[in-house]
Amino acid sequence: MSEKNVGGAPEPRRPSASDQRRQARGLTVAAAALLVALLGVGGALLALAFSQTSGAPTGGVLGVIREMDAPAQPGQGDGDGAGGADAPAANDPRAASLALDPSAQTDWKTDGTGEKTVYLTFDDGPSKNTQRVLDVLDRYGVKATFFVTGHEPDYRPMIKRAYDDGNSIGLHTMTHDYAQVYSSEDAYFSDLDQVGQVVKDQIGFVPYLVRFPGGASNTVSASYCPGIMTALSTDLTARGYQYYDWNVSSGDAAGNNVPVDKIVSSSCVEGYTNVMLLFHDAGTKDTTVDALPQIIEFYQARGYKFAPIDRDGFVCHHHINN
């Protein structure tokens, strides 16, 4: 991970282009809401149809859920992404903020924010463990971010449930097959578009948040396409996406059911202002859920707030090695 990711000195909040954009967005949302109201039943039916898209392609079984990313640096784990643009639902202000918008010029906080904040992030779901994670989050009243895959079609409704609970949804990968995803830029974006559609089918829009399989720092991609991470990191943001790596890893990618104590000790780290913490909510990660309460309590006791990723929050980037 890159040292510059560490959230450092408080950064004064200043009115920015993004504030103005939010204002403009608010007006747009209000106008759109009015229009929907005027359209009455017709509009409601349209909205219903829009929200019920279904049946995305089943890349599921292809998914080799190998978190073989043996990150070269401590605090790494895994990452991926995907996406496509679309108009967010007019009655959902969060959608307006989280939806992919190629024209958005966000003031990304790559140096962190000044406020002690933990961003819990979960890759590789949804799975049978996702509801367990949501239950823990709910018990503590905290929100997180889920970077999802297309692995288990039966659990896709969990994407909507997580979003409706106030969590952010990001794109990880459709297949998680490194050899395929990183074979070329076209292959990567094709995979990203597929998982973006899976998410859109659930929540009505393609989010801008992406996590690369293996993180931006992965070197495994060099086996399939030298230089691809350098190219993707630039092209992804040019298309309106933002990718998020992590500065603390729970270590749960080391194997299935890593001992709880080990996950807790890897996750509880002093000294960061902004903590972007990597977990996995795949079906094989039972102990991750078991460890979560202790980790949340550790940071709560030290005055951290917990936040889902959004455009105003910390952007954590690894050093790119391919």
Nearest distance, CB of residue 176 and Zn ion, angstroms: 6
Sketch the per residue contact string, 62 through 81, with Zn ion: x for CB under 5 A, - otherwise: ----------------x---
- Tell whether residue 245 is a contact of Zn ion (CB under 5 A): no
Compute and round to an integer the Cα radius of gyration of the chain: 19
| Among 124, 152, 191, 252, contact with Zn ion (rule: CB under 5 A) | 124
Instruction: Tell me if 101 contacts Zn ion by CB under 5 A.
Output: no
CB of residue 189 to Zn ion, shortest distance in Å: 18
The interface region with Zn ion, picked from 117-125, 156-164, 178-186, 289-297 by CB under 5 A, is: 117-125
Q: State in Å, rounded, how far the first CA of the chain is from the last one.
A: 14
Smallest distance from Zn ion to CB 268, Å: 22
Q: Confirm or reject binding of residue 123 to Zn ion (CB under 5 A).
A: yes
CB 213 to Zn ion: min, Å: 5
- List residues bridging with 99 in a β-sheet: 207
- Judged by CB under 5 A, how many residues of this single chain contact Zn ion? 3
Nearest residue to the partner Zn ion, using Cβ: 78
Strands (E), the chain: 117-123, 145-149, 168-173, 209-210, 242-243, 248-249, 274-280, 305-306
149 or 197: whose CB is closer to Zn ion? 149
Stretch that binds Zn ion, among 105-113, 121-129, 241-249, 291-299 (CB under 5 A): 121-129
CB of 151 to Zn ion, least distance (A): 10
Nearest one of 160, 321, 161 to 245, comparing CA atoms: 321
Residue nearer to Zn ion on the CB measure, 141 or 255: 255
Full DSSP string of 65-83:
-------SSTT--------
Amino acid identity of residue 170, one-letter, is G
Place of tokens 């603390």: 248
Give me 222's structure tokens.
């060099």
Residue 102 Cβ vs Zn ion, minimum distance, rounded to whole Å: 25
- Span 78-97, contacts to Zn ion by CB under 5 A: 78
Judged on CB neighbours under 10 Å (0-12, 13-18, 19+), 17 is exposed
Q: What's the closest the beta carbon of residue 236 comes to Zn ion, in angstroms?
A: 16
Choose between 76 and 273: whose C-beta lies nearer to Zn ion.
76
- Contact residues for 214 (Cβ-Cβ < 8 A; gap 6+): 69, 71, 78, 79, 80, 178, 220, 221
Peptide bond into 157 cis (omega under 30): no
Residues that bind Zn ion (CB under 5 A): 78, 123-124
